[in-house]
Chain A
Amino acid sequence: LKDAPVSELHDLLCKKLQQCSIVFDFLDCVADLKGKEIKRAALNELVECVATNRGILIEPLYPEIIKMISVNIFRILPPSENPEFDPEEDEPNLEPSWPHLQLVYEFFLRFLESPDFQPSVAKRYIDQKFVLMLLELFDSEDPREREYLKTILHRVYGKFLGLRAYIRKQCNNIFLRFIYETEHFNGVAELLEILGSIINGFALPLKAEHKQFLVRVLIPLHSVKSLSIFHAQLAYCVVQFLEKDATLTEHVIRGLLKYWPKTCTQKEVMLLGEIEEILDVIEPSQFVKIQEPLFKQVARCIASPHFQVAERALYFWNNEYILSLVEDNCHGAPYHLRHALPRLQGALE
């Protein structure tokens, strides 16, 4: 490609794309080694070509590009052999065709990020159906694949204004199915990372749809067994929401208290960490509304027989801002609030 004269470049590009639309069987690792190497080299050329050349992304190439990408990435994901697969403990099954797949994803990313990329042309091919299949790939067990998908979907969301509502809706469906039906989806953390950047960019005042997402999806997500895998991303999304609209604080805190884990101390420690992140950015006016139910729970945690839970709850007292919030509300507090804080004293004793 790099030696071809400009006049022949587009034809050659087309041929290379068609050549790379042949999918190889990597489960049989000795089959077709020559063919696999030819495709790998061709993919490398395509990545280089799109990354370095300007003015080559002419309209007729778009369908060929999307076809090659689709043929390679859209596939039925292998069922997880071990139904008891514990993402925390077990090593994930890596994608055998990664030597090709990685280059296809790399090419797709360079294509999206090319200065010549035109969403107005691409939207004929990157449509709702395409995006839905892309989202289904997030269930891949291969973390390398999910990392590429995350960056790609982030770019697609950014560049295709017309697809944004659809993408949010489909993410909603994936999360709801994950919470209430399957409790199995490998890409929850990656999707939450994208959503963190979307929430961060929300215009004010927040649309009702977005608040519904917080209430109906983000808060119930705390109840899922595999919370530890995506809790950091989930907590970040929640805090982003509160920084956008502090009036949601009471709803979030009461939601977390409603889903407070009763039998899983690891989750309790995570939620205490999230509570502290929220308290770090809380408005004093919001703190007053939630301090009583919140500190009832904190008092229970202090008295927890599990030392890590008790320790994490006591750690709140290492946070000067929380201390100042509590102090401000001790003295002039109305009668019933003064009863909330002494309960802490009992727990501390």
Chain B
Amino acid sequence: PQKKKKQKLPKSPAPHFAMPPIHEDNLEKI
């Protein structure tokens, strides 16, 4: 049987220290 290929991770898992992203275009309402 064709082995189900593991796909690449859609997005790397955020580590515990990851902070909320700050979007380059606009002012962040934090």
Contact = CB atoms under 8 A, between A and B. Distances in A.
Contact of A158 (B5, B15, B18, B22): B22
Interface in B1-30: 5-9, 11-12, 15, 17-25, 27-28, 30
Interface in A204-251: 232-233, 236, 239-240, 243
Interface stretch (A30-38, A60-68, A193-201, A258-266): A193-201
A321 B3 CA distance: 12
B21 A200 contact: yes
A222 to B, nearest CB: 18
B7 A321 contact: yes
Contact of B24 (A193, A202, A243): A202
A197 B21 contact: yes
A236 B28 contact: no
Given A239-B12, A281-B8, A321-B7, A159 B27 contact: yes
* Most A Cβ at <10 Å: residue of B11, B18, B24, B27: B24
Contacts of A196: 17-19
Contacts of A155: 30
A281 B22 CA distance: 22
B22 A157 contact: yes
A283 interface: yes
Nearest to A282: B8
Contacts of B24: 198, 201-203
Contact of A236 (B8, B18, B23, B30): B18
A157 B24 CA distance: 10
B10 to A, nearest CB: 8
Contacts of B5: 320, 324
Interface in A35-76: none
Contacts of B12: 236, 239-240, 243, 277, 280-281
Given A155-B30, A324-B5, A197 B11 contact: no
Contacts of B28: 158-159
A201 B6 contact: no
A146 B27 CA distance: 24
Nearest to B10: A281
A338 B23 CA distance: 43
Given A159-B27, A161-B27, A280-B12, A324 B6 contact: yes
B17 A233 contact: yes
B4 to A, nearest CB: 9
Contacts of B11: 243, 281
Contacts of B7: 321
A281 B27 CA distance: 29
A95 interface: no
A225 B14 CA distance: 26
A246 B12 CA distance: 13
* Most B Cβ at <10 Å: residue of A201, A233, A239, A240: A201
Contacts of B17: 193, 196, 232-233, 236
Nearest to B26: A161
Contact of A154 (B6, B8, B19, B23): B19
B9 to A, nearest CB: 5
Interface of B: 5-9, 11-12, 15, 17-25, 27-28, 30
